[in-house]
Structure 1
Amino acid sequence: MASEERNTTAQPEEQELSAQEYNELVAVRRQKLKELQEAGKDPFQQTKYPQSDFAAEVKANFVDVPEGEHGQDVCMAGRMMSKRVMGKASFADLRDRTGDIQMYIRRDDVGTEEYQAFKKFDIGDIVGVKGFVFRTKMGEISVHVKEIVLLSKSLLPLPEKFHGLKDTETRYRQRYVDLIVNPDVKETFVKRSAILRELRSYLDGKGFLEVETPILTPFEIGAAARPFITHHNTLDMDMVLRIETELYLKRLIVGGMERVYEVGRIFRNEGMDPKHNPEFTTIELYQAYTDYHGMMDLVEDMMKTVAMKVCGTLQVSYQGKEIDLSHWERMTMVEAVKKYSGVDFDEVESDAQAVALAKEHHVELPEIPTKGAILAEFFDAFVEDNLIQPTFIYDYPVEVSPLAKRKPNDPMFTERFEYFINATEFGNAFSELNDPIDQKGRFERQVAERKQLEPASKAQVDYDYVMALEYGLPPTGGLGFGVDRLVMLLTDSASIRDVLLFPTMKPLD
């Protein structure tokens, strides 16, 4: 048998291809395609191939056979990632959706004509092979090819082996190439799919029903975020892409569905950074007859369950930090601010006193400087950066919580929490406000304040939602959290664009 030494021609010290060299390679590939088409062998006329075996399973299930016999017959298809031609026999690597496997192609097995055709194949071509599995003298499980066919021609060269596709912007713009040449990138998205599957499985197992609500809404509702605006021609009216799924889901609780959730794409016309993309994925869920403490328990159990299922551990490494998902701290916002700033807002008796404290501690004043709003600014300034390990912060001021139920014993605060990991907010939850009179008043104040700050805002009071509350919303706990940030955590990805297959990018000129 021919030597299987990998005679790759590229060397680490080689420079990347010049534009001229690249264009020459492209021209050669197009000429090869033209010749195939003129010979009546157009690879783009192939319609299907009976792929029945896959690299990972073939290698996992391989059993050595006695000398003189051959192993399992296989029919495989994938992208040729390398080729080492050595006279009458050659080696190549085939990559399918499960991984890579080596192919051994010999002229005497496939025939002279087919072997000559194979020698003209390029790295990146899609091929189909039939043969049997064996172990080489070097111990590598491989396919001894009996038939090889070109299924699709790659007209553009892949990034060469040693330099690869490393430019970040290019990787995001050409994710299809990124996935071909960087297997670890594919693993991130395989893991993302597993995370979503386990989240759904967890919620389904708790009796929640997955639903879908509108993406196009008639006006800006819900969260304080800038929407994308579009126009419906038939109705001759402006509409917005949703900035949350909350109010429609709570309508379903009114309707008696009791436990619902939605995996939904959200759109916010705001800034972009490593934690933010204009469109992102959230899960919002609502459960009747529980409160925000019930939601805390659900979050902690869900996060532990999903991490264990997907990662096999509750000790997660993220960007050099060890995150312990087995332990979750719980603090009120007042307790957290006192712990990290030394200021006790339980002793603050007026808005004026809060303003003075903000100036003393160089904390930015909000547009409407109330005690509650200033407490939230203190939290942003002193607390959030310290919340590395999983932490629930609860009892938020009513000024920053327009949809949360007030605390019965302290109506200046609401039954709301957010949870933080690695100094980043991961989710937001309430005991849902179900008093229609209180809700109407908060909506009207929220819209008035928004229009005061942004006169062109299309924010309106959702009076239909208020009417839904008038029919009766049971005591309800609600939760919303970002799927992308969870995927970042569990895949050790530094940027949200690393966990979005096609992140928003500015077009090239």
Structure 2
Amino acid sequence: MELNELQQQRLAKLERLRAAGLDPFPPRSQRTHSIAAVLEQIDALIEGGERVTVAGRIMGARRIMGKLAFAHIADETGTIQLWVSRADLGEEWFARFRDDLDTFDIVEVSGTLRRTKTGEPSVFVEQMAVLAKSLNPPPEKWHGLTDVEARLRERYLDLIVNDEVRQIFRTRAKIITAMRHFLDERGFLEVETPALQPVYGGASARPFVTHHNQLKQQLYLRIADELYLKRLIVGGMGKVYEISKDFRNEGVDRTHNTEFTMMECYQAFADYNDIMALVEEMFRAIVQAVHGTTTIEYQGQTIDFGKRWDRVSIPEAIVEKTGIDIMQITELVPLQQAIRAAGLKVDNKPSWGKQVDELFSEYIQPLLIQPTFIIDHPVPLSPLAKKRPDQPLLTERFEPIIAGMEMGNAFSELNDPLDQEQRFLEQGRAYDAGDDEAQQMDTDYINALMYGMPPTGGLGIGVDRVVMLLTNQSTIREVVLFPHLRQTE
């Protein structure tokens, strides 16, 4: 690697440490306390005159004042000041601290604790060791690193300098823990299903393709967990869930990342009404666990999870907002003609169902701020959902929408193997007509249904979008530790 001038200067300091017989990257630390533990007990530790050993990264400039020096170090729990005097530390290590250490170096210090005249807790350093010499200096204005592209490409640097970013991912972990606790308490069994699948399915998306050399078989990274989880319902598991990574070979925007985290759960002897109740309770429990309230602020909007969610019918909403009755216009070309006649600006789609979805997404979804269930999806949009008994053009499906964002998908699961086979065949015709996101024929899944699957309610929730919502982030990239980015030259 070619080193720039600043890196070469730091390398020279590293070599001086080695020449002095010191290992700049020792195998272990002798830390006795985290910084947070010290700060929590500071007065008792000062009164008892206890000696502590803490470790952390030097943050900010070291301030050298003759025979005294000051610095702050930070670990994963907090920040504390170091009071470094030549008298206490000794001539050799004081000179080393002054001349060979830098911002971002990771050090270990031992000493007693006191408060300065301003009341700031400080370690009065008696011993010091280097745990990791940083060859990369902080960027200019490192304390305010704000360039989005730089932050995401070097997430490790972003985490070093931006505590608010670290807090996002602490909250993310808390959200997933709360979600898991909610489902565990209600008797759902956590399971694991294949990430590599011979037939991709369970969603409308393009897959990533790979090859199994030994089996000489083309495989796909899963786009959803659904069809395998429903096989478990067939097998007699009454309530199952999985929190896992899914992969879709599609565009990246503020709510989409090609690799994302999904929670899917399925409950036997339930329908989509039961799952709506489950979703309301789950969101309320998660928001309460994370924020201690059922009301949050998101991008300038107040969102209230304490109330019953609204229900909005797709056909009714479309006719109300656009004047187009999709229940009467059930073919693609006439629908597109009606859209043009109404002066509406939406992209043309390859199928009637996709065109309906585009119409809804453009003119209705962005207006839905408070928690809302979108219901009455047309059959062509829902190849795995049961039809409504009273309206065979529609399905028992819903999508939870919050702040204009689709948070998931759910339905009364289609358990008729003959109907499911016909839906897959229709999807195949849509694929041949140009819909490259249409679902594939899965004969093994149909075979599973032929053993009998009880009435079942299923749900998928996009975990990343829930994290966006509860951390007040406008893009999915901010809540994924390592989002996909274009390669640089």
TM-score by length of 1: 0.89
Instruction: Please point out which of 176, 179, 186 is paired with 2:156.
Output: 176
SS at match of 1:471: coil
List runs of 5+ in structure 2 lacking aligned partners.
none
Asked whether the equivalents of residues 70 and 132 of structure 1 are also in contact (C-alpha less than 8 Å), the reply is no
2:180 maps to amino acid: R
- Is 1:326 the counterpart of 2:306? The answer is yes
Question: Which shifted more, 318-327 or 481-490?
Answer: 318-327
How much does 1:353 deviate? 7.0
Q: Any conservation in 2 of the 1:216–1:240 contact (CA below 8 Å)?
A: yes
Q: d(CA) in 2 for partners of 1:483 and 1:454?
A: 27
Moved more, 117-126 or 333-342: 333-342
Query: Which residue does 2:198 correspond to in 1?
Result: 218
Distance 1:192 1:65, change over 3 A: closer
Secondary structure of 1:298's partner?
Answer: helix
Segment drifting more, 265-274 vs 217-226? 217-226
Q: How does 1:77-476 map to 2 (within 5 A)?
A: 77-82=55-60, 83-119=62-98, 120-161=100-141, 164-327=144-307, 328-343=309-324, 348=328, 351=331, 357-363=338-344, 364=346, 366-369=349-352, 375-453=356-434, 460-476=440-456
Q: For 1:151, what is the secondary structure of its paired residue?
A: strand
2:3 corresponds to 1:25: no
Shift of residue 167, structure 1, vs aligned partner: 1.6
Secondary structure, in 3 states, of the residue corresponding to 2:431? helix
The offset of 1:340, in angstroms, is 2.9
Aligned to 1:503: 483
Q: How far is the alpha carbon of 1:258 from its aligned partner?
A: 0.9
Tell me the secondary structure at the aligned position of residue 251 of structure 1.
helix
Q: Deviation at 1:164?
A: 3.7
**Structure 2 SS opposite 1:284:** strand
Contact 1:336 1:393 in 2 (8 A): no
Report the 3-state secondary structure (helix = DSSP H, G, I; strand = E; otherwise coil) of the residue aligned with 1:393: strand
Q: Distance in 2 between matches of 1:78 and 1:470?
A: 60
Tell me what 1:12 maps to. none
Letter matched to residue 476 of structure 1: T
Shift of 1:23: 3.1
> 97-106 or 71-80, which moves further after superposition?
71-80
Deviation at 1:109?
Answer: 1.6
Q: Which moved more, 1:357-366 or 1:92-101?
A: 357-366
Mapping 1:36-75, distance limit 5 Å = 36-44=17-25, 46-63=26-43, 71-75=49-53
Deviation string 1:291-315 (CA, Å, 9 cap, x unpaired) is: 1111111111111111111122222
1:129 touches 1:149 (CA, 8 Å); kept in 2?
yes
C-alpha contact (below 8 Å) 1:232/1:238 kept by paired residues: yes
- Give the partner amino acid of 2:351: I
Q: 1:34 to 1:117 in 2, by over 3 A?
A: same
- Work out whether residues 416 and 430 of structure 1, in 8 Å CA contact, stay in contact via their aligned partners in 2: yes
2:167 & 2:45 partners in 1: Cα distance? 33
**1:331 alignment partner AA:** V
Shift in Å, 1:435:
0.6
Q: 2:45, 2:362 → 1: CA distance?
A: 67
Secondary structure at the aligned position of 1:453 is classed as coil
- Two-structure CA RMSD over aligned residues (Å): 2.3
The letter of the residue matching 1:296 is M
Structure 1 residue 458 displacement after superposition: 10
Q: 1:475 to 1:71 in 2, by over 3 A?
A: farther
Q: For the Cα contact (< 8 Å) 1:358–1:374, is it kept in 2? A: no
Verify the 8 A CA contact 1:426 1:486 in the aligned structure 2.
Answer: yes
* 1:270/1:278 contact within 8 Å kept: yes
Alpha-carbon offset, residue 373 of structure 1: 6.0
Using the size of structure 2 for normalisation, the TM-score is 0.93
Tell me the matched-pair count: 482
SS at 2:429 equivalent: helix
Q: Secondary structure at the match of 2:30?
A: coil
3-state SS in 2 of match to 1:142 = strand
Output the CA distance in 2 between the equivalents of 1:65 and 1:473: 63
Alignment partners' CA distance in 2, 1:116 and 1:270? 56
Question: Please, which moves more after superposition, 51-60 or 225-234?
Answer: 51-60
Percent identity between matched residues is 47
Shift of 1:24: 2.8
CA contact (8 A) 1:304 1:325 kept: yes
Instruction: Give distance in 2, aligned partners of 1:290 and 1:453.
Output: 35
Check conservation: 1:451, 1:459, Cα contact below 8 A: no
Distance 1:422 1:55, change over 3 A: same
Contact 1:403-1:433 at 8 Å conserved across structures: yes
Distance 1:459 1:349 in 2: 24
Cα pair 1:219 1:458 within 8 Å, conserved: no
CA distance in 1, matches of 2:414, 2:97: 68
Equivalent AA in structure 2 for residue 75 of structure 1? T
Cα gap change, 1:206/1:72 in structure 2, threshold over 3 Å: closer, same or farther?
farther
Whole-angstrom CA distance in 2 between matches of 1:180 and 1:166: 13
Query: What SS does the aligned partner of 1:127 have?
Result: strand
- CA distance in 2 between counterparts of 1:508 and 1:108 reads 50
CA separation in 1, counterparts of 2:305 and 2:321? 22
Shift of 1:466: 0.4
For the structure 1 residues 391 and 246, does the alpha-carbon distance in structure 2 shift closer, same or farther, using more than 3 Å as the test?
Answer: same
Q: Give 1:320 shift.
A: 2.0
